[in-house]
Structure 1
Amino acid sequence: MATDRILASYLIETPEPPEKVAEVMAGEQSCGTFTRVEGETDALRARARATVESIVELAPATSPSLPNALLERKGTQGPWRRARIEISFPVANIGANLPTLAATVAGNLYDLGEVSGLRLETVHVPAAYRARFELPRIGIAGTRRLTGVASGALVGTIIKPNVGFSAAETAELVARLCAAGVDFIKDDEVCADPDHAPLAERVPAVMAVVRAHQERTGKHVMVAFNITDETDAMKRHADLVEREGGSCVMASLNWCGHSGIQTLRRHTPLTLHGHRNGFGALSRHPLLGISFQAYQTLWRLAGVDHMHVHGLQGKFSQPDEEVIASAQDCFTPLAEGIDDRVMPAFSSGQWAGTVPATWTAIGSDDLLFMSGGGILAHPQGPAAGVASIRQAWAAARAGTPLDEAARSAPELAAALAFFGKR
């Protein structure tokens, strides 16, 4: 791709000729508007205008995917043509400005009167432009180094119940989970700084038991404290985690915003665990919003180390194909010659029984495999839950069916018997 342009691809639906709509999109998101204006010289347009790179028309739809008051006022009846469009944007229009990049590739386009559906599918940036943004501080290799897990999937869990525990009760649970053998523990996205367990109390209480476990065993368990908040508060919370010997903080990406995450990344050396809650509102409709490839590109430019992708055969709405593609996006460098891969975090209804599908589809264990109920609700206790997942990973890597492996793995056998009925 050109070294001075950003390339974005879109799926559109429109009653207009797609080539006309593509030009409207290119003009709207660069130097143009619906009509030529004073000062918009040919030289300026040549320098600053976005360019339509390709148009591939698809089969039309029988009805519009989304309401459009402008088309309704005009009495437009279709046909509703669909097309994939690639548009390139001059880097010089944007600079190293992540919010403006997002506004350029995913801004007013969604409101255009010419479309009855529009979805941002991919964003690709040149290497020189990618180098102007934050890289992961920790990433895959650093996460393995900090947790001491040289090979195999990192087994993690989530604090459950989500909210309600005091700081002391949370620390007691974390101590049990550390003893159970997990590599990673995270707060839930809805538990950040609640009155009953404020971070000022929860972080010291939890890290006291994490440090004690490390002194006994040599094992550092990575705890992702949810520090989602306004920017100055997140910086204070991150400083507290660092002072207490923690290695990771978590933030709800969509609600903190690109600027907030960039500021946090620049402020702290800790692992930055990116939680994507709310992504479904941006992605579930096939003719609206943003795909994960484009979404994770923007957040990786902000410097996150981990990205949630949901889980295979999980409890959420995403099909397995989307989860697989999302994980592969995390493993794919954004630009040639720059290793900015991030660790995909699998969660949502994960347990020993979903391991084989994960291994078969991903072919890598450079991932966080997070199981809440699959560990904490195991009939033989959390330690058996962790053991069942590790046994399942060993079986999957060896190509051994789980029911066969379970004959010599009682924890796995109990998990299959208990969770397999649900």
Structure 2
Amino acid sequence: MSDRILATYLIETPYPLEHAAQVMAGEQSCGTFTRLASETDSLREAHGALVEHIEPLEVAYAPALPIPGVPGGSTRPVYRRAYVTLSWPLANLGPSLPTLFATVAGNLFELKEFSALKLLDLTLPRPFAEAYPGPQFGVAGTRDLTGIHGRPLIGTIIKPSVGLSPAATADVVRELLDGGIDFIKDDELQANGPHNPLKARVDAVMPLIREHAERTGRQVMYTFNITAEADEMRDHHDHVVAAGGNCVMLALNAVGLSGVTQLRHHCQVALHGHRAGWGMFSRSPHLGMSFVAYQKLWRLAGVDHIHVNGLRNKFSEEDASVIASARTCLTPMFEPPAPGCEVMPVFSSGQTADQAVDTYAAIASTDLIFCAGGGIMAHPDGIGAGVRSLRQAWEAAVAGIDIDAYAREHKELARALETFRR
């Protein structure tokens, strides 16, 4: 297996493709704008990034993004697009996620030679798998923690995300438990605010979770948002564990790779990754990073679940992108015997019983968490009916039964489709 790090990009440039690719390679390894005396041939051979592949694509006659200059003498430049794969020797950085990020997603985005540049994929050598523990629980461990096998975990988010007191949060949780929910999570905006401090929320919610587990033999997974400074995250993690909790959540972009990695080494429960801020990387087709590359970083850092949006969602992401994101979470990163690092994709954002059949048809797996806020809470017959409608929709999907036919025998599903179908 190669000891080189590979990264593939979409680029657009008014310069010849070979020249532009070499600029990328030099900027992110041992080059600068001019040759230095210390930049010997042997140094370049040992540590220079290589242009492994260039696949020319279409051309454009206007830049996708503003560009400060064009090649000298060009009055009507042509903007060439291509897929470019670069590689770096592992010796340049060692198996370090922060330095990897700076290498493959650093100054490249600022180079004046490019009117588009997006990181599409990463292939990492095995020492990364040896240096980072990856998910502690992943798909199988999450199923063991919840006792849910053979179907998706049906979940929801406590809304409103701000304004509820710990007691009001517990009231919602009580209704959800009575309704048969599998998974509950804090909103990404609800961490340790003055109106609902984390420890008070844990102390209000966990007695209900424990009592429900004693009565039913199944512990619902409540994901407490402990996003904060490093010391506070560890302290809050410990409070959740002491109370009998089995999951904590981090807003990944807020705490960074080092924050997630440090907590993963300390963590005793499932680690839920929320990608709040993801649109900064993904919204433009011409700038940023694909989810395929993005999720590999967080899987290595140690998350067990990660959000992938949902079909027919309330945001801007297209369904094809959502499905590709979910599939890549369940795809091994390394060849055996290195761990595969598979994580559980979390579907959310405007999800109802209406999306279950299409979701299953697209990914052919039930290894996911299917979160619905309004799709549960706003069911016309109440929270319990909302939970049952989602289970029924997934039963139909997995069995290959027409959902409308199944709804004729299941009133909760029928009412959900009547209310939410769009």
Q: SS in structure 2 opposite 1:59?
A: strand
The alignment-based identity, stated in percent, is 54
Shift of 1:74: 8.2
Counterpart for residue 268 of structure 1: 267
Give TM-score scaled by structure 2 length: 0.97
330-339 vs 341-350, greater mean Cα deviation? 330-339
- Correspondence 1:256-295 to 2 at 5 A: 256-295=255-294
- Counterpart CA distance in 1 for 2:229 and 2:395 is 42
Match of 1:247 in 2: 246
Q: For 1:100 and 1:388, locate their aligned partners in 2 and report how far apart those are by CA, in whole Å.
A: 46
Cα distance in structure 1, aligned partners of 2:370 and 2:267: 25
Matched, 1:397 2:398: yes
Give TM-score, length-normalised by structure 1: 0.97
User: Which residue does 2:211 correspond to in 1?
Assistant: 212
Aligned length: 420
Distance in 2 between residues matched to 1:215 and 1:74, nearest whole Å: 77
State yes or no: 1:236 paired with 2:231.
no
3-state SS of the aligned residue for 1:56?
strand
CA-atom RMSD, angstroms? 1.4
Shift of residue 78, structure 1, vs aligned partner: 1.6
Structure 1 residue 129 displacement after superposition: 2.8
Shift of 1:70: 3.9
Are 1:176 and 2:175 matched, yes or no? Answer: yes
Tell me the equivalent position of 2:409: 408
Q: Distance in 1 between matches of 2:50 and 2:223?
A: 42
More deviation in 88-97 or 319-328?
88-97
Secondary structure at the residue paired with 1:289?
strand
Question: Amino acid of the residue matched to residue 364 of structure 2?
Answer: G
The SS at the match of 1:307 is strand
Contact 1:273 1:306 in 2 (8 A): yes
Which whole-Å CA distance do the structure 1 matches of 2:51 and 2:357 have between them? Answer: 43
Q: For residues 371 and 356 of structure 2, what CA distance do their matches in structure 1 show?
A: 11
CA deviation vs aligned residue, 1:317-348 (integer Å, no higher than 9, x gap): 11111001001110011111122100000001
Structure 2 CA distance for aligned equivalents of residues 124 and 218 of structure 1: 42
Match of 1:192 in 2: 191
SS of the aligned residue for 1:69 comes to: coil
Q: Is the 8 A contact 1:251 1:274 kept in 2?
A: yes
User: Any conservation in 2 of the 1:273–1:304 contact (CA below 8 Å)?
Assistant: yes
The answer to whether the Cα contact below 8 Å between 2:15 and 2:71 also exists between their aligned partners in 1 is no
Which SS does the other structure have where 1:123 is aligned?
strand
Deviation at 1:69, TM superposition (A): 2.4
1:371 is matched with which residue? 372
Structure 1 residue aligned with 2:320: 321
Question: Structure 2 regions of 5+ residues with no counterpart?
Answer: none
User: Gaps (5+ residues) in structure 1?
Assistant: none
User: Partners in 1 of 2:205 and 2:163 — Cα distance?
Assistant: 15
Which amino acid is the alignment partner of residue 356 of structure 2? V
Do residues 91 (structure 1) and 119 (structure 2) align? no
Question: How many angstroms does 1:76 deviate by?
Answer: 6.0
Q: List per-residue Cα deviations over 1:347-375 (Å, max 9, x = no partner).
A: 01111011000010010000000111000
CA contact (8 A) 2:15 2:70 kept: no
CA contact (8 A) 2:296 2:333 kept: yes
Q: Secondary structure at the match of 1:155?
A: strand
Separation in 2 of the partners of 1:182 and 1:348?
Answer: 17
Residue number in structure 2 paired with 1:160: 159
Aligned-partner residue type, residue 314 of structure 2: K
Contact map agreement 2:95 2:127 (CA 8 A) in 1 = no
**Deviation sequence 1:285-320 (CA, Å, 0-9, x none):** 111000001101111111110010000122111111
